[in-house]
Amino acid sequence: MTDPPTEASARACANIALAKYWGKADVKRNVPAVPSISLTLDQLVTETRVRFDASLPSDVVRLDGRRASAAEAERVVTMLDRVRRESRVRSNAHVSSHNHFPTAAGLASSASGFAALAAAASAAAGLRFNARRLSALARASSASAARSVYGGFVELPAGSRGDAELAARPIAPSEHWNVRLVVALTETGKKKVGSTEGMERSRKTSPYYQAWLDQAPRWARKIKRAIKDRDLDVLGAAMEQSTLAFHCCAITSDPPILYWAPATLAALATVRGLRERGLSVWATMDAGPHVKVLCEIGDATRVRQALDRTRGVTRTWVAKPGPGVEVHR
Ligand code: DP6
């Protein structure tokens, strides 16, 4: 007898790393080598529906209404296989995922995507995972996704080889500190190197990789303390050091990975200019040229206007602290 179809959907928000994750202690298990700290954002949402259905001849993966590429489907199927191993479900699955981002272009969705997939697939398989197990499941596919399981301010500790259980944990809920993150999308250059590939290249070839591993925990500790104290000056300075240090590893990899575009530097100059005029405004960049700017709620409009006037910035919007993953059966 075959099992009847079971389904569930989940909604997860993207997060932005205040203390960056770059580098793995265990590549096979996807265990980060440094601690990272993030803020979950309200507007960048992925919604994913998973249906296990014995009548399907193979897994089907659809992303934003199109068929997933082979590489995208493989990462999704790896997660489905993990869920099948932990449950009684043996059927193939139909996965359909939609990103509700203010714009489709330019922002990575793997954090919200794998958090939503972990939650929807485990619920559809009848597994009643708590947030910690869900976070560990998401982390195995994409470490930043472990953080999107929780809302607000979140940390993912560094792990070591074989650490299959490593999970993120909440530092403070979104209500703790009503900061704003102004996202400045920039003109993009050539096709970027994905973060998984980029951090492996840095580990293997950057002469500054070990220095990054040595220093990253210090910035993470400072940032965690500053979140608790709601001290934006301390948080912002450490956040900028963390982002510049990880980009330093990327730039000094062989071949080099330079994620920045001219507009990235222009936006950084805008941020510095605002700071010189007395605002507590701080920038961070991920594996791409876009600049995300952390500021107080009362400064968000002024920051956004300044970024809108910056050469090469194509679009801006203001994000707030957001919630953790939610499951709908
Ligand atoms: C620069 O979580 O995408 O955005 O674990 O290989 O999937 P994998 O990497 P991913 O890396 C994110 C890197 C970053 C910094 C961060 O979000 O901490």
Which residue blocks in 125-184 are alpha helix, DSSP H? 131-141, 143-148
Residues 197 and 250: beta-carbon distance below 8 Å: no
Assigned token pair, 69: 């590429």
Q: Is residue 107 within 6 Å of ligand 1 at its C-beta?
A: no
* pLDDT of amino acid 109: 74
Tens-place pLDDT, residues 39-64: 999 989 999 999 999 999 999 999 99
Largest CA distance in the chain: 71
264 C-beta closer than 6 A to ligand 1: no
- What pLDDT does residue 159 have? 98
Give the list of residues 6+ apart from residue 185 with CB closer than 8 angstroms, or none: 103, 105, 106, 107, 290, 313, 314, 315, 316
| CA 128 and chain centroid, separation | 24
Place 1 in a pLDDT band, splitting at 50, 70 and 90: low
pLDDT of res. 329: 77
Cβ-contact 80, 95 below 8 angstroms? yes
Ligand 1 nearest atom to the CA of residue 111, by list position: 2
Q: How far is CA 121 from CA 29, 131, 207, in A?
A: 19, 14, 40
pLDDT of the residue at 102 = 66
Task: Determine the Cα–Cα distance for residues 267 and 296; give it in Å rounded to an integer.
Answer: 18
Gap from CA of 78 to ligand 1 centroid (Å): 18
| Measured distance CA(114)–CA(132) in Å, rounded | 15
The pLDDT of residue 106 is above 60: no
Atom of ligand 1 nearest to the CA of 194: 3
Atom of ligand 1 at shortest range from CA of 199: 6
- The torsion defined by the Cα of 115, 117, 122 and 125, in degrees rounded to 10, comes to 170
The residue contributing the CA closest to ligand 1 atom 2 is 144
The SS3 call for residue 89 is coil
**Whether the predicted pLDDT of 272 surpasses 80:** yes
Query: Facing residues of 287 across strands?
Result: none
Over residues 190-214, mean pLDDT:
93
143 C-alpha to ligand 1 centroid (Å): 6
Would you state the pLDDT for residue 101?
80
pLDDT-derived band at 285, boundaries 50, 70, 90: very high
Residue nearest to atom 1 of ligand 1 (CA): 286
DSSP state at residue 321 = B
Phi, psi of 250 (to 5 degrees): -65, -45
Is the pLDDT at 264 greater than 70, yes or no? yes
Instruction: Give the ligand 1 atom nearest the CA of 286.
Output: 1
| Pocket of ligand 1 contains residue 17 by CB under 6 Å | yes
Asked if pLDDT for residue 21 goes beyond 60, the answer is yes
Closest CA to 165 of 30, 20, 293: 30
Torsion of CA 15, 21, 25, 30, to 10 degrees: 30
Is any atom of ligand 1 closer than 6 Å to the C-beta of 203?
A: no
Q: How confident is the model at residue 3 (pLDDT cuts 50, 70, 90)?
A: confident
Question: Which alpha helices (H) appear in the chain, and where do they start and end?
Answer: 70-86, 110-124, 131-141, 143-148, 195-205, 209-229, 232-251, 262-276, 300-308
Q: How far apart are CA 247 and CA 242, in angstroms?
A: 9
Mean of all residue pLDDT scores within the chain:
95
- 202 in ligand 1 pocket by Cβ < 6 Å? no
